[in-house]
Amino acid sequence: MSKTNPGRYFEDFAVGDTIIHATPRTVTSGDVALYTALYGSRFAVQSSDAFAKTIGYAKAPVDDMLVFHIVFGKTVPDISLNAVANLGYAECRFLKPVFVGDTLSTTSDVIGVKENSNGKTGVVYVRSTGRDQTGDVVLEYVRWVMVRKRDEASSAPDPVVPELANRVAPDGLGQACPAILNSGWDYDLSGAPHRFSDYEPGERIDHVDGMTVEEAEHMTATRLYQNTAKVHFNQFTEGQGRFGRRLIYGGHVISLARALSFNGLANAFHLLAINGGRHVAPLFAGGTVFAWSKIEETAEIPGRDDIGALRILTYATVDQPCAAFPGRQEKGFDDGVILELDYWAAIPR
Amino acid sequence: MSKTNPGRYFEDFAVGDTIIHATPRTVTSGDVALYTALYGSRFAVQSSDAFAKTIGYAKAPVDDMLVFHIVFGKTVPDISLNAVANLGYAECRFLKPVFVGDTLSTTSDVIGVKENSNGKTGVVYVRSTGRDQTGDVVLEYVRWVMVRKRDEASSAPDPVVPELANRVAPDGLGQACPAILNSGWDYDLSGAPHRFSDYEPGERIDHVDGMTVEEAEHMTATRLYQNTAKVHFNQFTEGQGRFGRRLIYGGHVISLARALSFNGLANAFHLLAINGGRHVAPLFAGGTVFAWSKIEETAEIPGRDDIGALRILTYATVDQPCAAFPGRQEKGFDDGVILELDYWAAIPR
Amino acid sequence: MSKTNPGRYFEDFAVGDTIIHATPRTVTSGDVALYTALYGSRFAVQSSDAFAKTIGYAKAPVDDMLVFHIVFGKTVPDISLNAVANLGYAECRFLKPVFVGDTLSTTSDVIGVKENSNGKTGVVYVRSTGRDQTGDVVLEYVRWVMVRKRDEASSAPDPVVPELANRVAPDGLGQACPAILNSGWDYDLSGAPHRFSDYEPGERIDHVDGMTVEEAEHMTATRLYQNTAKVHFNQFTEGQGRFGRRLIYGGHVISLARALSFNGLANAFHLLAINGGRHVAPLFAGGTVFAWSKIEETAEIPGRDDIGALRILTYATVDQPCAAFPGRQEKGFDDGVILELDYWAAIPR
């Protein structure tokens, strides 16, 4: 029997299963520094212990997307090693702040399976849960992927397709955000004067700047997350594949877009939830990523008069500046669009 | 009104203004490790808590140039986003040691403005001040940049050009350096036997080694400093520009030259001041950086019998070894020279 | 007299000499994060304070190979700056766990010299010792290198060739490993169910995955270790040399192979000793590294019923998947093989 992990095939997932993922990870200030160096993020709350303390955190929290990537990375060897495609995300909620020194681990519950009509693949739905060393949940999200069958002749399971919310409702937001002392918020240090009431639904913001991605950068990031998906790392194999290139981890694009979005959303300091995400096209090294955002909705959070929630659609593009707001069309997306991300962010009121 | 920072134009600077820059930053051991990994610096004081304690520091101080880059990076969105050229530095003094855990922030005072005769641009002089979380000044320097006018028809301000010292005087040096216990200095561990009295004015030292720079490296460094200057990151735009390439942050060259200078200046452990710096030519990825130094002056520091000051001119070159000491000529510089840096370094007596 | 380190030549080594190497280094969580980001290692003990505590460590120990690289890097300016070839390693033993905050320094004892018959070079044998800030030995190993003579006319020293063990004996293993509480070992979190008794001598494991190496990555790693060997960094000079390329530090290949070996050896959590290593062929950027391992021997460690020792031969290849187990042949090695590493690893019983 091989001691090497072959990854799960479609037949290996049954609704109700819980999968415990390997390699718990203590988050360090080294991880945080690398995250800054890889994306150039400038949000004051995550960058400065002093700023974070002044507004009500014990110290600077770890960037939400770094937490996401670490929690997500652990699921790859068990969920998506034989995946054909990463189909979507939903109901991603940040539930407890993570600080340097916390140890993160991940489990996944299989909540849906549906064989495809071709008999070769099926869709698997999992709800993945990231916990800290106390067992508290810091993050959960649903993800669905298309996975190969081991044996095309095996019979199809009863299809189970979970109902997923289009968006996290405002009363489900904010658990990972302590009470914010708005009197302590210094808008010079945070980089912009705009707060909750300054944003309007429908408003569009071009984040202007572009960031070119190198092979060494996306691989370094993806290894930092201990994400083992082969397509990101192995030019020998990928060079013979469909694209002839290493594919860049979709989460790398999300983090780039989030960092670029500082220019226009400087005070939207915390991801409350990710409602959905779509990797419209792959990104390869050498491409320059741009981004723009649309304010899709603004919402008060029940019980919170310190922060409001902005529902933001961020579009990332490659080699395509965003002054003209390239995005979704009736059929498909404008040229150059590689990401549509639908999320809630907290901002001071 | 756009929420995106358009950067200041020449008309937006008035003598007497103070600009508070965004994104305070807590320096971590992750930043320090990345700095080592990006430049390969080997100075014992900054590398070892044990060595630093033995000579009188509480623990290893953060490398002076890392402090400089972090303090400097914050000024870019406010000072030089619309800059045409970075013209010079002067009167840069290191005033308090920085340790892991300190939070740095920066303000800039506008101390000079002078419109150029073409009516399209002007020169802006700022004195930038880096402070730690207690409000103490850790670093200050003067910088002047050429900035575009928003409107060529706008009238010129009264010209103010500050008088700047050619060099920081020896009695202004040493504030960031605690009393050094020379009896604790281990010259085997520090890498060379040479101390203050071993260096002579006029002496020239070829630092021998060369370091090739990759795109991923200089971008990672520059993002680590949260420096947002567009020319370093955006191949899509720069590819259509004057050079067709991303420009490497000038500070990256300074840090490379300083790291190379260990071979010959191993005990010149601390930057006391930077008298001036000139980026003679741009550096692009793929170039190999070499360096050599001339001892311009040696000086006792009033009240200090533990350390002396070496005034050093370090020249960096690209694809040009330095055995022949390429440097400044009567008219301009020798081929291959990209940097002339004039600074004071502390060395044990 | 030049202040630049010219490196030692063959004549500069005498049996009985002890060389104190420069630049003690405090290991930080930043170094650990970079190590993870450069190789993607997933061993739970080194990744998680919580996991490490549960099995008997005070906290997560620093990866053994990171300790090796830091200890080794210090020796380069004194031992191998003028080396023609790195000939071998032996008797490498890990003797005390290293934790974040420890300061490492290195000394080397010259234990052998033998001039080559060509009169131009000689072989130098050193036993290098890494110590922490308390003076305790954390690591020792023997290395032999071929070094140029300064003067071909100088007379040959009496040859001394140390006797070196083919392998570290089992009773010399385990000092750096605390008593492991096997009841606390969570095989879900560690990534595989296999323990000591599951491995058989002669067993072969293909580690499956491949990792492409970029210039920025291997240079970043090698600078992190403060290893100054010129061939890794200087494209200007190397471009005119034998290969026309920068050579990748052999230790980088070892760390890549070790990280890949997680897939099949997930519970072989600690390097007890390195019996020998051979860099069969150079690696250059752009190559994709694969690896496989053969269980050469299994051994109980006298006095230890918590862990056993696997003696492992790991082969790394470039652009050559390892399903067919390319390795050593009667004469030389199969195509694509770049590393043969013979080591002992600890695994729970």
Same domain, C314 and C197: yes
Same domain, A214 and A154: no
Contacts of B40 in chain C (CB under 8 A): 222-223, 226, 228, 233
Q: Given CB atoms, is C206 within the 8 Å cutoff of chain B?
A: no
Residue B333 identity (one-letter amino acid) = F
- Residue B231 confidence (pLDDT) above 90: yes
**Does the beta-carbon distance from C206 to A33 stay under 8 Å?**
no
Same domain, C145 and C85: yes
For residue B225, give how far its alpha carbon lies from the nearest alpha carbon of chain A (Å). Answer: 8
Contacts of A48 in chain B (CB under 8 A): 23-26, 103, 105
Instruction: Assess contact for C223 and B38: CB atoms under 8 A.
Output: yes
Q: Is the dihedral of CA A182, A186, A190, A195 positive or negative?
A: positive
Same domain, C247 and C271: yes
Query: Could you give the CA distance from residue C31 to residue A254 in angstroms, rounded to a whole number?
Result: 26
**Residue B12: DSSP 8-state:** G
B131 closest CA partner among B173, B111, B103? B103
Instruction: Determine the structural domain holding residue B83 and report its residue range.
Output: 10-151+165-348
C283-304 per-residue burial string, b: 16 or more CB within 10 A, e: under 16: bbbebbbbbbbbbbbbbebeeb
Residue C47 has its nearest CB partner, among A21, A24, A219, at A24
pLDDT of residue A246: 97
Q: Given CB atoms, is A26 within the 8 Å cutoff of chain B?
A: no
Please report the DSSP string for B207-247 in residue order: ----EE--HHHHHHHHHHTT---GGGT-HHHHTTSSSSSPP
Q: For B71-122, what is each residue's pLDDT tens digit?
A: 999 999 999 988 888 888 999 999 999 999 999 999 999 999 999 999 999 9
Same domain, A107 and A193: no
Q: For B301-337, what is each residue's pLDDT tens digit?
A: 999 999 999 999 999 999 999 999 999 999 999 999 9
Q: Given CB atoms, is A213 within the 8 Å cutoff of chain B?
A: no
Q: Which contiguous run of DSSP H or E holds residue C220?
A: helix C215-224
**Does the beta-carbon distance from B31 to A33 stay under 8 Å?**
yes
Domain boundary among A147, A164, A181: A164
End-to-end Cα distance, chain A: 60
SS3 letters across A71-125: HHHCCHHHHCCCEEEEEEEEEEEECCCCCCCCEEEEEEEEEEEEECCCCCEEEEE
pLDDT over 70 percentage in chain B: 100
Contacts of C223 in chain B (CB under 8 A): 36-40
- Residue A221 confidence (pLDDT) above 70: yes
What distances in angstroms separate CA C160 from CA C15, C76, C125, C276, one per listed residue?
8, 22, 9, 20
pLDDT of residue C1: 62
**Does the beta-carbon distance from A36 to B236 stay under 8 Å?**
no
Residue C164 identity (one-letter amino acid) = L
For residue A134, give how far its alpha carbon lies from the nearest alpha carbon of chain C (Å). Answer: 10
Instruction: Assess contact for C268 and C62: CB atoms under 8 A.
Output: no
Q: How confident is the model at residue A1 (pLDDT cuts 50, 70, 90)?
A: low
Q: For A151-200, what is each residue's pLDDT tens digit?
A: 999 999 999 999 999 999 999 999 999 999 999 999 999 999 999 999 99
Q: Which contiguous run of DSSP H or E holds residue A252?
A: helix A250-260
Residue B2 lies in a domain: no
pLDDT of residue C85: 84
For residue A240, give how far its alpha carbon lies from the nearest alpha carbon of chain B (Å). Answer: 25
Residue A42 has its nearest CB partner, among B2, B20, B22, at B22
For residue A106, give how far its alpha carbon lies from the nearest alpha carbon of chain B (Å). Answer: 25
Same domain, A97 and A179: no
Residue A34 lies in a domain: no
Residue B47 has its nearest CB partner, among C25, C33, C230, at C25
pLDDT of residue C291: 98
Residue C47 lies in a domain: no
Tokens of B39: 């430049």
pLDDT of residue A82: 83
Helices (H) and strands (E) in chain A, counts: 10, 12
B46 closest CA partner among B121, B123, B120, B98? B98
Q: Which whole number is the average pLDDT over A341-345? A: 98
Q: For C103-117, what is each residue's pLDDT tens digit?
A: 999 999 999 999 999
pLDDT of residue A110: 98
Q: How confident is the model at residue C86 (pLDDT cuts 50, 70, 90)?
A: confident
Q: Which whole number is the average pLDDT over A56-80? A: 97
Domain boundary among C123, C146, C164: C164
Same domain, A181 and A142: no
Q: How many residues does chain C have?
A: 349
Q: How confident is the model at residue C148 (pLDDT cuts 50, 70, 90)?
A: very high
Query: Could you give the CA distance from residue A240 to residue B332 in angstroms, rounded to a whole number?
Result: 51
Tokens of B295: 């001892």
Q: For C71-85, what is each residue's pLDDT tens digit?
A: 999 999 999 988 888
Query: Could you give the CA distance from residue C284 to residue A133 in angstroms, rounded to a whole number?
Result: 41
Same domain, A148 and A219: no
Q: Given CB atoms, is B226 within the 8 Å cutoff of chain A?
A: yes
| 3-state secondary structure at position A164 | coil
Tokens of C152: 């071909």
**In total, how many domains does chain B have?**
1
Q: For C166-217, what is each residue's pLDDT tens digit?
A: 999 999 999 999 999 999 999 999 999 999 999 999 999 999 999 999 999 9
Residue listed under structure tokens 């961020």? A314
The rounded mean pLDDT for chain B is 97
Contacts of B234 in chain A (CB under 8 A): 209-212, 288
Q: Looking at residue C265, which CATH number applies to its domain?
A: 3.10.129.10
Q: For C264-289, what is each residue's pLDDT tens digit?
A: 999 999 999 999 999 999 999 999 99
Residue B28 lies in a domain: yes
The widest CA-to-CA distance across chain C, in whole angstroms, is 65
Q: For B158-206, what is each residue's pLDDT tens digit?
A: 999 999 999 999 999 999 999 999 999 999 999 999 999 999 999 999 9
Domain boundary among A164, A185, A204: A164
Contacts of C28 in chain B (CB under 8 A): 29-30, 32-33
Q: Which whole number is the average pLDDT over C40-64? A: 98
Residue C103 lies in a domain: yes
φ, ψ of residue C348 to 5 degrees: the values are -60, 145
- Residue B2 confidence (pLDDT) above 90: no
pLDDT of residue B85: 84
Q: Given CB atoms, is C23 within the 8 Å cutoff of chain B?
A: yes
Query: Could you give the CA distance from residue B176 to residue B180 in angstroms, rounded to a whole number?
Result: 11
Q: Given CB atoms, is B181 within the 8 Å cutoff of chain C?
A: no
Residue B22 has its nearest CB partner, among A50, A189, A288, at A189
Same domain, A3 and A83: yes
Contacts of A215 in chain C (CB under 8 A): 212, 214
**Does the beta-carbon distance from A236 to C321 stay under 8 Å?**
yes
Same domain, A112 and A216: no
| 3-state secondary structure at position A130 | strand
- Residue B1 confidence (pLDDT) above 80: no
Residue B159 lies in a domain: no
Q: Which whole number is the average pLDDT over A74-99? A: 93
Same domain, C256 and C303: yes
Tokens of A113: 């399976």
pLDDT over 90 percentage in chain B: 95
Contacts of C24 in chain B (CB under 8 A): 44, 47-48, 50-51, 189
For residue C50, give how far its alpha carbon lies from the nearest alpha carbon of chain B (Å). Answer: 21
Q: Is the dihedral of CA C229, C235, C236, C238 positive or negative?
A: positive
ipTM of this predicted structure: 0.96
Residue A46 lies in a domain: no
Q: Which contiguous run of DSSP H or E holds residue B112?
A: strand B103-115
Same domain, A152 and A175: no
Residue B215 lies in a domain: yes
Q: Given CB atoms, is B175 within the 8 Å cutoff of chain C?
A: no
Neighbouring chains of A at 3+ CB pairs within 8 Å? B, C
For residue B76, give how far its alpha carbon lies from the nearest alpha carbon of chain C (Å). Answer: 26
Of the residues A99, A187, A209, A317, the best mutation for testing chain B's interface (the one with the most B CB atoms within 10 Å of its CB) is A209
